[in-house]
Structure 1
Amino acid sequence: MSEADAETAESTPGRTEVWIEKYRPETLDDIKGHEDIIPRLSQYVEQDDLPHLMLGGPAGTGKTTASQAVAREIYGNDWRDNFLELNASDQRGIDVVRDRIKNFARSSFGGYDYRIIFLDEADALTSDAQSALRRTMEQFSHNTRFILSCNYSSQIIDPIQSRCAVFRFTELSESAIEEQVREIAENEDIEVTDGGVDALVYAAAGDMRKAINGLQAAAVMGETVDEDGVFAITATARPEEVEAMVAQAIDGDFTAARSTLETLLMDRGLAGGDVIDQLHRSAWEFDLSEEATVRLLERLGEVDYRITEGANERLQLEAMLAALALENEA
């Protein structure tokens, strides 16, 4: 780093840090949203009666943060010595369960009744590894507590689920994300317009990490974070653009709809999956009849499946728009 860069970094404290870590809540009370979950976790901590936990839900909704906050409140400054986190893709096999987890569970420690093992993305564990984990949970239940984080709890075998208190984290509310964004902007002395906040909330789609990363990225581009900057930096289409494309197809103007799609994919750099996600999120907000909305959702399901199976995303999206246009003509 040059002297000029160093001076710039010093004059803008915090902008060289990763904000999702800088502003990660350290206590359960600091976590925004999940008003039905946080009080129950706090009760476990206050009563010193922590069971095995399974936290399920989408990414960026606070599962890892809640797990670390539990450890911090139980162990204080010693939380890192009593909290084992496994989340790398090469840490999912049966050998890890048999070796690293067991070694941590067996190791001696003083001053606490149990240690915590946090398994992130536990639904990626193989069936053999989950069976080994079930036995390990039984064997070391007297001195170890497990917290399992997963996106799809249905991928966890029933014997493990029955041993855990299950908490389902939903997508964070718009108000929770807006509150966090405004708080960070104030702390970092960043001017954010109301349109910029609304754009960050829309682009995040319930994922706090996306909102904070988007804010940090947009803040680097200029002194004021506005709607245009957010949509540009997050590679997100404006809701009205997506709505216009669907409306053009419904009205039978396939050429105009295809032109709008090409702008989104080629000029704006959106992926086909991003377009599908935005269409799905906004389907019922469009000024469309119920019948047209149902047709749109049906087509979206077909396109999403075909792209997942390896079909060309641009071809499939154009076919969807063409089908909507032909249905209107019929």
Structure 2
Amino acid sequence: MTSILLGNKGGKHLDQYEQERLDHTPWVEKYRPRKLDEVASQDHAVKVLQKTIESANLPHMLFYGPPGTGKTSTILALSKQLYGPNLYKTRVLELNASDERGISIVREKIKNFARLTVSNPTADDLEKYPCPPYKIIILDEADSMTNDAQSALRRTMETYSGVTRFCLICNYITRIIDPLASRCSKFRFKSLNNDNALNRLKYVADQEHIQLNKDEDVLQEVLKISNGDLRKAITILQSATKLSNSLLEIVDVDMDSGESESVKGGEITIGSIQEIAGVIPEEIISKLSEIIKSKNTKLIISQINELILNGRSGQQVIDQLHDQFILDDTLNAHEKNQISKILFEIDKRLNNGTDEHIQLLNVCLQISKVV
């Protein structure tokens, strides 16, 4: 009797520990798809991969597309469905761009893992999972590998294809050498469409009991800012939730009267989403564009100084100015072309690490000469 009670108590503690672990897990990991069916908006890739699970004959694969579209989640979900939790640790090797992946790593770590023979699965694993007789090596962000490392990998893929399958994941397929790409089945992951991404965000919001402003389309704003990157969208939503919850604890005290007033919080608005994401309010960008059109140099300098002092991102200003001018019907095609050329040049300079303040002054003064 005593042992039964202890067993229940131990199980209860285990559940509490698991719940605490989930509470402290980033939402991106907490809501990462566990099965291929849960992967959103990549119907073609999912259908083909589900067929390969049925036959358990997987080719070498190359997943490419924008960040946050489910490439890594898909191969991890596929691996778990193939091997289950017990065999997964011994059958799957995942290397990310944060790991050193020069030619020495390919010749040593990857080659040593690829040549290992696979262990026999237990009868219990065989009942629940396909457990094919090969391992999987996942090379995330493979486009950051040097050409020499990719060339060395090509030979390893050929030699050990009997016991190992490779999955290369990258953002830019053009950075993968042709001999390597030709050995893989290619799967293109496109940016998520709004319907699928919105359903996933609604699911996360329901699970986390998030209070959204009923008068505003908050989730649509999150999707607009994330631009098809679901990982970024979920991260913004989590950050906004933490901010709104922290506001509940703030108490505003009037020093003159001594009266205290609790600040209402807990509800997420479009304004809080924009603040978290670093998006500049539309009225500020509109004001800046009007000042640029007025060609008043002093006002332009004053407005840019104010943006810099407020800690605004130069890259974000450029992105929003682009939309502001390119979608402006009062400008003709020639003016828009000139403005685009100016913005692209400044964008290049910012990416190369030049001073934001100088470049913002530069872009505004140059555009003022065009409009």
Q: TM-score range by the shorter chain?
A: 0.7 to 0.9
Instruction: Write the mapping of 1:123-202 to structure 2, written as runs, cut at 5 A.
Output: 123-193=143-213, 194-202=216-224
Q: Does 1:121 align with 2:141?
A: yes
Report the more deviating stretch, 314-323 or 289-298.
289-298
Seen in structure 2, the aligned counterparts of structure 1 residues 258 and 132 have a Cα distance that, compared at 3 Å, is: same
Query: What CA RMSD, in Å, does the superposition of the two structures yield over aligned residues?
Result: 2.6
Alpha-carbon shift at residue 300 of structure 1 (Å): 1.1
Deviation at 1:17, TM superposition (A): 2.2
| Structure 2 CA distance for aligned equivalents of residues 106 and 205 of structure 1 | 41
Q: Please give the alpha-carbon distance, in whole angstroms, between the structure 2 residues aligned to 1:306 and 1:192.
A: 39
Give 1:239 deviation, angstroms: 4.6
Q: CA deviation at 1:259?
A: 4.7
Aligned-partner SS, 1:149 = strand
1:310 aligned partner: 353
1:276 aligns with 2:318: yes
**Unaligned residue ranges in structure 1 (runs of 5+):** 1-8
Alignment counterpart, residue 95 of structure 1, candidates 104, 115, 119 = 104
282-291 or 219-228, larger mean C-alpha shift: 282-291
Pair 1:230-2:273 in alignment: yes
How far 1:75 sits from its partner (Å)? 1.3
* Residue 325 (structure 1) aligned with residue 352 (structure 2): no
- Cα deviation for residue 137 of structure 1 reads 0.5
Conservation of the 8 A alpha-carbon contact between 2:35 and 2:81: yes
| Cα pair distance change 1:14/1:84, threshold 3 Å | closer
Answering whether residue 61 of structure 2 is matched by residue 53 of structure 1, we say yes
Instruction: Describe the shift of the 1:155–1:239 C-alpha distance in structure 2 as closer, same or farther (beyond 3 A).
Output: farther
CA contact (8 A) 1:116 1:147 kept: yes
Is the 1:200–1:230 contact (alpha carbons within 8 Å) kept by the matching residues of 2?
yes
Indicate the residue corresponding to 1:4 in structure 2: none
Q: Which of residues 62, 70, 75 is equivalent to 2:78?
A: 70
Contact 1:14 1:188 (C-alpha < 8 Å) held by counterparts: no
Q: Give the length in aligned residue pairs.
A: 319
> Aligned pair in 2 of structure 1 residues 281, 209: CA closer, same or farther (>3 Å)?
farther
Does structure 2 conserve the Cα–Cα contact (< 8 Å) formed by 1:15 and 1:216? no
For 1:19, which of 27, 42, 46 is the aligned residue?
A: 27
Aligned with 2:233 (options 211, 222, 240): 211
Pair 1:11–1:71, CA change in 2 (3 A): closer
- Which of residues 242, 251, 272 in structure 1 aligns to 2:285? 242
Secondary structure, in 3 states, of the residue corresponding to 1:215?
A: helix
Distance in 2 (CA, whole Å) between partners of 1:221 and 1:121 is 32
- Inter-partner Cα distance in structure 1 for 2:205 and 2:62: 33
Indicate how the Cα distance of structure 1 residues 39 and 279 shifts in structure 2: closer, same or farther if over 3 A, else same: farther
User: 2:92 & 2:20 partners in 1: Cα distance?
Assistant: 33
Identify if the C-alpha distance between structure 1 residues 183 and 282 changes in structure 2 by more than 3 Å, giving closer, same or farther: farther
